[in-house]
Chain A
Amino acid sequence: MIGRSPRPPLRPSGGRPKTPPLWIGCSMLVLLAVPAILAPWITPYAPGQQNLSATLLPPSRGHWLGTDQLGRDLLTRILYAARTDLSVMVLAQIIPVCTGVFLGMVAGYFGRGIDAAVTLFTDTVIAFPFYLTVIIVAFLSGSGQRGIYVTFALVGWVVYARVVRGLSATFRQQDWIAAARTLGYPDLRILLRHLLPNVLPQAIVVLMTDMAALLVAIVTLGYLGIGIMPPTPDWGTMIADGRPFLSTKWWLSALPGLAVVYTGIALSLIGDGLADRIRRT
């Protein structure tokens, strides 16, 4: 760490500095999540309700955002897609975060042989072409949502492992860890009660960006035709389905795309806010 002498707080007005990004980001997410959760009760149509004589309609009083190629209401589908995508985004991260943080801590704390082994494993996973992994997983465990969970469980942990490993290696050198060891605490306890709380904030910051990246990856998989399966609404497949109509009915792709960007910005702001908070403590 770069040497820094202690400095007095700079704000002339005193008090803890506010973190607008954090609050803006959180409220953006809430603004999206609430209608999504309430969707089954507030939407007038079902997401799969087709109407072959009312296809590709522009926004109107009956359909606020128009209809898609099979006459399904776009607004309903976007909200239901929020349910699908947001939940996949969160659930798909559970295993990667746990394994990544754990492996990173172990590698950074113990160092030497374990570190070398974990690093080798990490490097191998990074060197494996991503699309190959996706295809192999898609066939061995089915494509669609299940495939996405498995794929990210297999490759998503790497970024957490790297970050946490770096942090753990640095912390290991520091006084407070040395003190705990002198006191004779078992390693597992040090890992869980001392190291973990200190690497977790940074890991959560990474999580925010990673979730946005995951959402984008799901969308890209939809574009490649191996994402979430129809007829489950999903922003990625909606964007892909709307692509042929880009110059005539651009809102079919643009609106789900906007939803993706919106979510990404919200997550990004939360990540920034959290990062600021950590830096200040």
Chain B
Amino acid sequence: MTKESKRRAARKGGPSPIFIWLRRSLARTIAVVAAVVVAVFFLIRLVPGDAAKMILGEYATDSDIQAMRTRLGLDFPPRDQFLRFLLQVLTSGDTGKSLVYGVSARELIFRRAPLTLLLVGLAAVLAIVAALFLALLAATHKDGPLDHMIRVLPAISLSMPVFWIGLLLILVFSVKLRIFPVGGVKEGLGGLLHGLALPAITVALSQVPSLVRSLRVQILEVLDSDFVVTLRAAGLPSRRILFRHVLRSSAIPAVMLLGVNLAYLMGGTMVIEQVFGLKGIGTLLFAAISNRDLPLIQGIALYCALAVVLVGLLTDVGAGLLDPRTRAKP
């Protein structure tokens, strides 16, 4: 917020800057989600293949397939389908009944979402903690052997596809050492964490390299900056400087970068869930696309878009709270 707009708002006695920000964010959210949903709706109908053929397989008659198509409502012209779809979404937040599973799309999504969210959250925490730690080490031992090692090793996990890292971890920790299950999660919080440990580590490994790189640069800048020099001159112990001041300033870009990466992850947990046999949103999307299960695809697109935008907003809020200077201008 610039000083002028703050003064303007205060003088007019008008809406507070937070309200303006909220309103703007809401508008942005709606715009993005609507754009995605409409685009998905029409684009997916351009792709060849239909659910009836997937449900009935290759040995079904033309009339069977036609009957199934009518039953599933695939016969109506796209515009009619779209209007019915809009109505359904706006009144119940549900994009329809899954063509293949016969259950409401929203119910399927909500049943599976917690697992994916937990996975992403766990991975985020692991990634941030590891990245901050490594970046601090690297920055404070700049140009030393530790620094070089920390800069090169993460590049390895960056260049390894996620499914490969996952497969290797499974082979070592699940099959050979039997510490973790090969796939899926069991009951209870303990079982959940146990089953998500390897997948979360795999995802974190793919995020750490880029985080470490930018964090290291940021920390170096902060260490070099005037205010830290002043603090040292004032005689503060270096550890305190490190943890209270340096960390705080470097956390912001870490959070921002993580936010962006998480947004990418939201739509992209599919491979990880596939490799680890997790019944989350990723595998649901994969099955839905393979089966051309239109209501389910549309539902996942809707809720994923929503999640992505919300994460983006949260990141902005977080960054704003940590450092008022980075608050976006209106």
Contacts and interface: CB of A to CB of B under 8 A. Distances in A.
A and B touch in the complex (CB under 8 A): yes
Interface of A: 2-5, 7, 21, 120, 123-124, 126-132, 135-136, 139-140, 162, 209, 212-213, 215-216, 219-220, 223-224, 239, 243, 246, 257, 260-265, 267-269, 272, 275, 279
Contact of B151 (A21, A139, A224): A21
B152 interface: yes
B2 interface: no
A128 B163 contact: no
A25 to B, nearest CB: 10
A264 B159 contact: yes
Given A126-B263, A127-B33, A220 B271 contact: yes
B217 interface: yes
Interface string B190-215: 00000000000000000001100100
18 contacts: A21-B151, A126-B263, A128-B36, A128-B39, A129-B268, A129-B300, A132-B44, A132-B267, A132-B285, A132-B297, A139-B48, A209-B213, A212-B155, A216-B160, A223-B271, A264-B159, A265-B155, A265-B156
A239 B165 CA distance: 13
| Main SS class of interface, B | helix
B263 to A, nearest CB: 5
Interface string B260-284: 1001100110110000000000000
Contacts of A264: 155-156, 158-160
A67 B69 CA distance: 47
| Main SS class of interface, A | helix
B225 interface: yes
A44 B305 CA distance: 51
Range of interface residues on B (Cβ < 8 Å): 35 or more
Given A124-B32, A212-B158, A264-B159, A272 B249 contact: no
B225 A209 contact: no
A129 B285 contact: yes
Contacts of A126: 263-264, 308, 312
A67 to B, nearest CB: 22
B28 A4 contact: no
B100 interface: no
B308 A5 contact: no
B46 interface: yes
A149 B48 CA distance: 21
A35 B221 CA distance: 41
B141 to A, nearest CB: 15
B90 interface: no
Contacts of A219: 161, 164
A5 B260 contact: no
Interface of B: 28, 31-33, 35-36, 39-40, 43-44, 46-48, 151-152, 155-156, 158-164, 167, 171, 209-210, 213, 217, 221-222, 224-227, 249, 260, 263-264, 267-268, 270-271, 285-286, 289, 297, 300-301, 304-305, 308-309, 312
A268 B309 CA distance: 30
A5 B226 contact: yes
| Residue of A5, A140, A263, A264 with highest tally of chain B CB at under 10 A | A264
A215 to B, nearest CB: 7
Contacts of A4: 221, 224-226
A136 B40 CA distance: 9
B164 A129 contact: no
A209 B32 CA distance: 28
Given A7-B224, A139-B47, A212-B158, 14 more contacts: A3-B226, A5-B226, A120-B35, A124-B35, A128-B301, A129-B285, A140-B46, A216-B158, A216-B160, A220-B161, A223-B271, A262-B159, A268-B152, A268-B209
A212 B28 CA distance: 32
B264 A257 contact: no
B203 to A, nearest CB: 14
Contacts of B161: 216, 219-220, 223, 239, 260
Contacts of A263: 159
A2 B222 contact: yes
A128 B305 contact: yes
Contacts of A7: 224
Contacts of A275: 213, 217
A268 B160 CA distance: 12
Nearest to A123: B32
Contacts of B312: 123, 126
